[in-house]
Structure 1
Amino acid sequence: MDVVISLLFILTLAQHLPPVAPLETLLSAVVESVLGDSRIFSGEEVRLRCSVPDVHGSKWDYQWFKGSEKLGHSGEHLVLWKARVKDSGKYYCQGLRDSLVGNIYTLKSLPVEIQVDGGWAILEVPPQHGLVGQTLKFTCHVRGNPSIHEVILYRDNVEIMIQSGSNPHFHLNNLTLEDQGMYSCRASWDSDRLTRSVISAEASVQVLEVLTQPILEIVELDHLKMRLICHLQYNAHAPAPSINYYFYNNNKRLGTATSENRFLAKQRPGHYSCKAKVPQLDISRWSEPKSFGQVTGQPTMPPFLQPRNARPFVPPVSSPAAAQMFLYQASPAPDSQMSHNEMPDYFDDMTPTTVIH
């Protein structure tokens, strides 16, 4: 009788205990496309593969997700055979394996986004953002690969390039921030004595500066010391070259170049600024000067560096992300922009000019 009562008590207690959370590792699954592109025509095939970078060589099983929905499929590969438009979405995978304490799960992979197009043309754009000064390649694919005699590239519904013949590739050189937008392509070919013309859906293209303009932050630590912090966004594609940071007080450099974006300095009144430089790419950007303490006047450029017709570069008001600091620019054209090679190394100790807003 006592045994029966004990069993009933254990069963009752188990029903009220919280469910045991699944065991997770710090490993993250990786999903990649091994067949097909991220943008495909309906009826085509995509094959995805899941893996777990486990240095111990453990045997893993896999489960798949589309968005937040868990798919019934399991296994290393997921195949979208004769894909349909409704198959478009973000796909994830997760590894799991048995252990003495139950199933162990990896973290979910980063997503792979698949877009299935039911139309006749697809504009293939780079998966990553473009960078100012670089080149972007676009390719206009047409269902069935007919013999094309003309392809047109549009940005925000405005024609920007045209290719005669069967070459469906476009190269947009020396990118600027103005090249960002929604792109599409139109392809034309002859069939059965008629000219066929199709246009793709729009694809978004983002263009970023390699270095955004730094913003200097001054943090008072006590009555003797302060910390200078140079904030910026670095958008170079991996592997990204290293950045050097320089800090200035009243046009004089404080210490030497550092890979850290912060500098510990004595509290002194004056105008402070910072500069970020990527030597390997020969790109530099200045912050705007920031005053600390009781100071008067504005920082000025040393007279021996001022060309006779010099004037500061003024970025367009509508493009604050394009604001830049330059040592000097001698009579630039109204629309010219200098996003690279802002100043040679021997100007490191000189004074930046301020951007006029």
Structure 2
Amino acid sequence: TVLAVVKLQHSWSQIFTGETITLRCEIQGGEGKVWKYEWTAPNTNSPPTSSEYRISRVSVSHSGDYRCRGSSDYLLTGWSDAFRLTVSYKPKAKLRADNTAVPVGGSVTLTCSVNPSSSSGWKYYWYRDEKSSEALTTQDAVFHSNGQISVSQEGLYRCRGGRGNPVYYTEDSQSVRIGKTVTASNRPVVTLYPNWSEIYRGETITVRCEIHGGDTEWDYEWETNSRIKAPNQNEYRIRSASSSNSGNYRCKGRMKSSQHKTTEWSDSVTLTVSDNKPRPVLTVSPSWLSPGASVTLNCEVEHPSAGWSFYWYKAVPDLSEKSSSYELLPDGSGTAQDSYIIHGQTHTAGYVCRAGRGDPEYHTDHSQPKFVWSAGQFDSL
């Protein structure tokens, strides 16, 4: 059986506008004969009569079905199966950088790709700075596997893909600015003011980026996985915090005088904002009163080291409301100590504490009342 087949003379199947392509008509089983060829093709009234159908600068209108057949002496093949040619619009290269600043003594890896990724056969060309049309060489960069290079010079980089003969180029990628990291001595530090890594909903806290050394003026950049993003200033004051502010915070500086020069990223600092308002636990000792003994109250907050001052109250029962009101004990406002001593109590009485911290001051809930019992009656002032 003699059979005509249309084949594309490229190792890639996805074709773009502007490329030069060649389709070939192969007569299988017709070896040794001299053949004349006939083609049917979209967008032409005068197809070639040779075995090759070459299209220079192919366009979208060349998309469609291509068939061929051959004749030799008295032999005529049938029409081949249709070869479906799809021509897509010119693709654009995409450039990705694993860092936007060259670390001290190091390099940045750039990756170039062509969309759609299913297209193949590309070689990549790299350029630095807008005016340059000279592709980078091994003197300018370290070339890795196809599509990746490492660079240690600052500049504005772009790339494009090319394939075929003559070479067909994609559109240039977007340019990416690669800066240089200044010396490690300028590495910033993130600090929390006050220095509480766990705070509560409604508290106020400042996240600060500090860069020591020299009198350089900096612009600041923050990176955080919290739901609310930090502004690009050296201080981020969070008023009335919520769980949306929870996350890791790190920062870097960018020189005002030379925007391509940056510090390294700081280490991350974790801020946790709890939605639960804390309630301290009050303990009284002793809980049964001996005549003339003093009573010690202890107020314990979940994170005792973190800047709390304490407020001490007597619970005064209101029998008509079946509730209590709280009356501040003498010198019981904002003590630094988490304990308070009562002298000379003779009657049964209830006590309550709460804690506060910060500026403006944030208060915990009141503790549950605790009672000191006496053989006498209930103490009502």
- Decide which structure has greater helix share: 1
Give the alignment's TM-score, normalised by structure 1: 0.32
If you compute each CA radius of gyration, which structure gives the higher value, 1 or 2? 2
